Amino acid sequence: MSSHLFRPQPLFPASSEIVQRDYSFRLSAATAVARPWFPCHRQIQAMAATERLGSRNGEALTPNGDCDCSIPEKSAPVLTNVGKSTNVAWHECQVGKLEKQKLLKQKGCVIWITGLSGSGKSTLACGLSRELHALGYLSYVLDGDNIRHGLNKDLSFNAEDRAENIRRIGEVAKLFADAGVICIASLISPYRRDRDACRCMLPDATFIEVYLDIPLEVCESRDAKGLYKLARAGKIKGFTGVDDPYEPPLNCEILVRPIDGVCPSPVIMCKQVISYLDEKGFLEA
């Protein structure tokens, strides 16, 4: 039976005939176990040159010993237990956060917009995303209601599920920030401890809390979704601002509130946030 049937498949299709012809097996003296030899990029180039130009003195170029540019062997990953997950390992990729930020020419962060229902969170989030896009910056909006259509559709509005809702969104927002994206999270997030837990997920002051401090009576007068009306009628239980508390931030990065009784327009709110991003260096690599 032909011996080439037992050789490994080529890793580099462009030079498949060259690579397959020069595969060989080595015997490890320490383990006495045959292991396949895979050529590095320098040896591939040498074999390709031999194929194009012919052998020198009638002898083909053959691999001679381990190449000094071969990838060193990695130590075994450390297995840990995280929550209910057991025997998991963290894998680092060679393309890190800094490389992604240089590619996008911006710094990843999480803009966490919090406030009562009807305070203008979604309006600010979408307007901010539009303005950043016009300026050439990449962002993504995590809207509280939108997330409950998919990732968090299994959660209710009781205190425990609300905490889990915030935790999941915080973890997703963290991934976006790590990828160099300006992530805009827009949700009521009424409990201070849950917002602070999300802040702790992100390093280097990349969690930017934006508090829309709009009076309850103003939010209720807007009531675009009709939720306040349902809550006042007792058809919705545990509604923030009616029969469930909202805990305002103590040290938010950006505070938006009415001036002389007049709420700021979406354009003014967007400019306020973008000015902060520019001042703190998030709009450059």
pLDDT band at 74 (very low <50, low <70, confident <90, very high): low
Report the C-alpha gap between 281 and 79 in whole angstroms.
37
| Mean per-residue pLDDT, 125-150 | 97
In whole angstroms, what is the distance from residue 213 CA to residue 263 CA? Answer: 10
**Domains observed in the chain:** 10-67 (no CATH), 98-279 (3.40.50.300)
Rounded alpha-carbon distances, angstroms, from residue 124 to 103, 186, 264, 283: 27, 9, 11, 18
Q: Is the pLDDT of residue 187 over 80?
A: yes
Annotated catalytic residue within 119, 122, 129, 189 = 189
List alpha helices for the chain, DSSP H: 16-22, 41-53, 97-104, 121-135, 144-147, 159-178, 192-201, 216-222, 227-232, 266-279
C-alpha–C-alpha distance, residues 169 and 220, integer Å: 26
Query: Residue 89 — pLDDT band, cuts 50, 70, 90?
Result: confident
Answer whether 174's CB lies under 8 Å from 160's CB: no
* pLDDT of 161 over the 50 cut: yes
| Token representation of residue 172 | 């997703």
Of 136, 118, 140, 126, which Cα lies nearest the Cα of 267? 126
Let me know: does 195 contact 114? Beta carbons within 8 Å: yes
What pLDDT was estimated at residue 198?
Answer: 97
Token output for 274: 């973008």
pLDDT of residue 92 exceeding 70 = yes
Angular region, 63: left φ>0, alpha ψ -120 to 50, beta rest: beta
The pLDDT tens digits of the residues spanning 18-44 come to: 444 444 444 444 444 445 555 555 666
139 catalytic per annotation: no
Helix axis angle, 159-178 to 192-201, nearest 10°: 20
pLDDT for position 52: 54
